[in-house]
């Protein structure tokens, strides 16, 4: 039946938008690349929604979804950052070895995205909440970082950019608890509403640069939620 293919078609559209976003990133058309990554995120949401609605989820669809996410939320944002750094860092150092390799550091994000997605596929404890930063959230941060650095080129330094790449690579595979957004009930819905309100305010004020505020806010809010949950559990014992 045709309905069994609908979720996979949406997943392939996610993959396609990610692939085209990479081309746009290489041509430094960052706005188009960003819109394509956002479109990929929409397809990523609706493929899961369609699978649940039509009750046609499958192991193949799950694996295909991860492959698409690696391209759209792993490689495409990394290519945006690489293309930007290449403009400023190529020929900016004396060591030829550094000059040849330092601009490829954003590929670290791709490697850790792959590891993150592989772990997610076999970790049943992440059905409602997450352990480590999800790849779409990491992509949002990196895309916004590109626009932030483009607006403030004096910040495009090794001391500023390299630690960010390393930290956000590690965050994707760190076992830190982060709240999911699908379970909109109980105390969690309050945190989700706070996150959505803060995200909306950030988008209005900072537009494409909002992700560098939204994602740290999401991580901090998840930490507050975890701390309160543990505190409540201790009082109930």
The residue behind tokens 């941060």 is 141
80-136: per-residue pLDDT in tens? 999 999 988 876 444 444 556 888 999 999 999 999 999 988 877 776 788 999 999
The CA R_g of the chain, rounded to the nearest whole Å, is 19
151-169: per-residue pLDDT in tens? 999 999 989 999 999 999 9
Measured distance CA(56)–CA(111) in Å, rounded = 30
Kindly report the pTM of this predicted structure.
0.91
163-197: per-residue pLDDT in tens? 999 999 999 999 999 998 877 677 788 999 999 99
pLDDT above 70: residue 208: yes
Residue 155 is predicted with a pLDDT of 94
Q: Kindly state the tokens that stand for 123.
A: 């970790």
Domains parsed from the chain with CATH numbers: 2-178 (1.20.120)
- Residue 30: how many other CB atoms lie within 10 Å: 20
């Amino acid at each position: 039946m045709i309905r069994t293919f609908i979720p996979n078609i949406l997943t392939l559209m996610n993959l396609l938008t990610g692939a085209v976003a990479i081309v746009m990133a290489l041509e430094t058309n960052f706005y188009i690349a960003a819109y394509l990554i956002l479109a990929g995120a929409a397809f990523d949401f609706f493929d899961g929604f369609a699978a649940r609605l039509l009750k046609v989820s499958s192991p193949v669809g799950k694996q295909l979804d991860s492959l698409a996410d690696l391209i759209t939320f792993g490689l495409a944002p990394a290519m945006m950052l690489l293309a930007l750094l290449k403009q400023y860092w190529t020929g900016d150092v004396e060591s030829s070895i550094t000059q040849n390799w330092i601009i490829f550091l954003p590929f670290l994000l791709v490697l850790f995205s792959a590891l993150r997605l592989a772990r997610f596929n076999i970790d049943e404890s992440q059905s409602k909440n997450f352990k480590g930063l999800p790849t779409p959230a990491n992509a949002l941060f990196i895309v916004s970082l590109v626009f932030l650095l483009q607006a403030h080129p004096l910040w495009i330094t090794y001391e500023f950019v390299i630690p960010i790449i390393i930290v956000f690579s590690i965050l994707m595979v760190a076992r830190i608890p982060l709240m999911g957004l699908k379970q909109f009930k109980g105390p969690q819905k309050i945190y989700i509403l706070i996150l959505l309100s803060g995200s909306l305010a950030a988008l209005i004020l900072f537009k494409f640069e909002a992700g560098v505020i939204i994602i740290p806010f999401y991580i901090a809010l998840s930490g507050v939620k975890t701390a309160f949950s543990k505190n409540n559990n201790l009082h109930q014992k």
